[in-house]
A and B are shown apart, each in its own frame.
Chain A
């Protein structure tokens, strides 16, 4: 039934396309396929895609996706898009491998396919857009602390577990760029195991052991929230700044209380914008997605591809009191 409905919808759409004035037929149609409709993060990405479309002028964005986060749902959507003969598909995949055959079929029909946010295996897309990269994140977390410490100061790290791969890589990258931030001392690294109570206790311990502590950097979403609460309870708001990686919806309270001046995570609007720009470049300007290629993406600069045809968009986006209200309801 739903397939019938989709066919009917595509047929109706095709009729509509024929019926529209001549200039609209030349519009480049880029489909933004998301994990599921109704998720704030992706709605924001669609907003970014529309922004890119407005900038490019001759682009029509088709924002679509299944109603639940399944690979089967996305395959149906992809098939419908192939039938509509869109120019490009930019997808955030529910499954790395399951979508490959459907996307290969799309590429066989001359449709540009890229993945963003959540990737597809290399054979199922031309390039993949990562929101950021380990070196960029490592640099950002120390920059967030340093920006509020012009005269230098003591910072401590509150990580997840001692064996968390992501956090360990980010901390290693951070230590590698410490030379760029003179006067900033990393006095300790503690582990909250991504448990709210242990992270809270570790943060409290940091403030006791290092009375002059200026900032706690927590590159983990549980840790940053717990540390912010610990700072509030210790009455050290304004003395100790909690920063790192967190989600706006989870950190809104910490920004409001002043325990956190700013924190970072990817910006879905920029992500949707960049994905649209990349899809346009590949589809219309004949850009080849090969290793080492530099592909422009409008206001976001350019994307450099590695040997897996993957690239990192930008530094994580900084959230603070000025934009938290806009984003806290998004993700």
Chain B
């Protein structure tokens, strides 16, 4: 029975509903369908990045360079757009995904071949990527009037009632759902994170799986880079500063174990949506800005504490109890 209803996701979904009710008691318009669509649209970049991060965290790694990767790719495609305004948007998106994937591959190779701890690798590349943005841009901004209208309009284009930005998140969710549940790569990610030694015996190359996880995360960061820059119609060195922590927080709230191996697509998405609702609600519920950070932080801590409790009665602990009785 518990296998059929994923408990963690249900609880998180319930928490989001309670949150929405609380917000609507202070600001009724927040739960209007059109506003909820806006909130989802605003959360789309976080959802896409959280899914990439989820894959990395599942393999017992962490990618702190996603926001810097996003910023560098965003700046690069913005500058390409300024230099060649006629370049079609699909080409721009392909460049963004490719650039992001290359940056992810750099992380992956360092983790795989040099066996440097992922947190160290990505802390380093995070700073390097930010530095490169400064080098290529000279510290200057790329502004809305310099970008071509097609470049900035694409994520706002409405298809079947939702902007392209939202569709990008929905498509990513569907693809990841299939990938994690139905493909060899998806299953090997869980295997590598759950028990690397056992994974080796089943013929899975742990390092290589981690490498591909970083490539996936990087490619999604690259895609988000384009979406971000075109949505806010500005590119500069510090865009999405500190966003990597929000991405990790979304994963953690979504019940993805930092120790690897445990987590789901639904969890990551709900974690991102939870944070998105909080971030979008705080400006309208009329709470002092001095309290907003504290409230965001508390929400994360409560969610994590909840997850930690929910995750306690698991199979592994039963094994430990069995050990103790021997």
Most buried by B among A189, A195, A197, A202: A197
Chain A residues within an 8 Å CB radius of B242: 195
Given contacts A162-B289, A201-B283, A250 and B240 within 8 Å (CB-CB): no
Assembled-state Cα–Cα distance A222/B233 (Å): 11
A209 touches B240 (CB 8 A): no
A218 to chain B, nearest CB (A): 13
A307 to chain B, nearest CB (A): 35
Count A/B pairs, Cβ under 8 Å: 72
Given contacts A195-B241, A201-B279, A254 and B232 within 8 Å (CB-CB): no
B27 touches A209 (CB 8 A): yes
Chain A residues within an 8 Å CB radius of B282: 205
Given contacts A190-B289, A197-B232, A233-B156, A209 and B283 within 8 Å (CB-CB): yes
B35 partner, pick from A208, A222, A233, A328, beta carbons under 8 A: A208
Given contacts A190-B289, A201-B279, A253-B233, A208 and B145 within 8 Å (CB-CB): no
B61 to chain A, nearest CB (A): 26
Assembled-state Cα–Cα distance A259/B74 (Å): 24
Assembled-state Cα–Cα distance A225/B240 (Å): 15
A6 to chain B, nearest CB (A): 26
A250 touches B156 (CB 8 A): no
Q: Is A116 close to B, CB under 8 A?
A: no
A190 touches B283 (CB 8 A): yes
B241 touches A250 (CB 8 A): no
A196 touches B35 (CB 8 A): no
B141 touches A249 (CB 8 A): yes
Chain B residues within an 8 Å CB radius of A254: 144
B283 touches A204 (CB 8 A): yes
Assembled-state Cα–Cα distance A209/B29 (Å): 9
Assembled-state Cα–Cα distance A189/B242 (Å): 23
B68 to chain A, nearest CB (A): 14
Chain A residues within an 8 Å CB radius of B280: 201, 204-205
> In B133-158, which residues have CB < 8 Å from any A CB?
141, 143-145, 156
Q: Is A280 close to B, CB under 8 A?
A: no
Q: Is A267 close to B, CB under 8 A?
A: no
Chain A residues within an 8 Å CB radius of B279: 198, 201
Assembled-state Cα–Cα distance A226/B280 (Å): 15
Closest chain B residue to A254, Cβ basis: B144
Chain A residues within an 8 Å CB radius of B141: 249-250
Q: Is A170 close to B, CB under 8 A?
A: no
Q: Mark A185-215, 1 if CB is under 8 A from B, else 0.
A: 0000111001111101110111011000000
Q: Is A171 close to B, CB under 8 A?
A: no
Q: Is B219 close to A, CB under 8 A?
A: no
The tally of residues in B whose CB lies under 8 Å from a CB in A reads 30
Chain B residues within an 8 Å CB radius of A256: 145
Q: Is B83 close to A, CB under 8 A?
A: no
Chain A residues within an 8 Å CB radius of B201: none
Assembled-state Cα–Cα distance A3/B147 (Å): 43
B29 touches A208 (CB 8 A): yes
A252 touches B232 (CB 8 A): no
Closest chain B residue to A191, Cβ basis: B289
B233 touches A209 (CB 8 A): no
Assembled-state Cα–Cα distance A197/B42 (Å): 9
A224 to chain B, nearest CB (A): 11
Chain B residues within an 8 Å CB radius of A226: 232, 234
> In A217-274, which residues have CB < 8 Å from any B CB?
222, 225-226, 229, 233, 249-250, 252-254, 256
Given contacts A191-B289, A208-B35, A229-B234, A253 and B283 within 8 Å (CB-CB): no
Given contacts A197-B240, A256-B145, A208 and B232 within 8 Å (CB-CB): no
Chain A residues within an 8 Å CB radius of B325: none
Assembled-state Cα–Cα distance A306/B145 (Å): 41
A229 touches B233 (CB 8 A): yes
B232 touches A209 (CB 8 A): no
Closest chain A residue to B45, Cβ basis: A197
Chain B residues within an 8 Å CB radius of A253: 143-145, 233
Closest chain A residue to B276, Cβ basis: A201
Assembled-state Cα–Cα distance A254/B280 (Å): 24
> In B217-244, which residues have CB < 8 Å from any A CB?
228, 232-234, 236, 238-243
Closest chain B residue to A229, Cβ basis: B233
B290 touches A202 (CB 8 A): no
Q: Is B284 close to A, CB under 8 A?
A: yes
B284 touches A205 (CB 8 A): yes
Assembled-state Cα–Cα distance A291/B92 (Å): 58
Assembled-state Cα–Cα distance A194/B242 (Å): 12
A10 to chain B, nearest CB (A): 31
B residues with CB within 8 A of A: 27, 29-30, 35, 38, 42, 141, 143-145, 156, 228, 232-234, 236, 238-243, 279-280, 282-284, 286, 289-290
Smallest CB-CB A-B distances: 8 pairs: A205-B283, A253-B144, A253-B145, A252-B145, A196-B232, A205-B284, A191-B289, A250-B143
A residues with CB within 8 A of B: 162, 189-191, 194-198, 200-202, 204-206, 208-209, 222, 225-226, 229, 233, 249-250, 252-254, 256, 328
- A190-B283, A208-B284, A253-B144 given; name 14 further pairs at CB < 8 Å: A191-B289, A195-B240, A196-B232, A201-B42, A201-B280, A202-B283, A208-B35, A209-B27, A225-B144, A229-B233, A249-B143, A252-B145, A253-B233, A328-B145
A-B contact pairs, 5 of them (CB 8 A): A195-B240, A195-B241, A197-B239, A200-B232, A204-B283
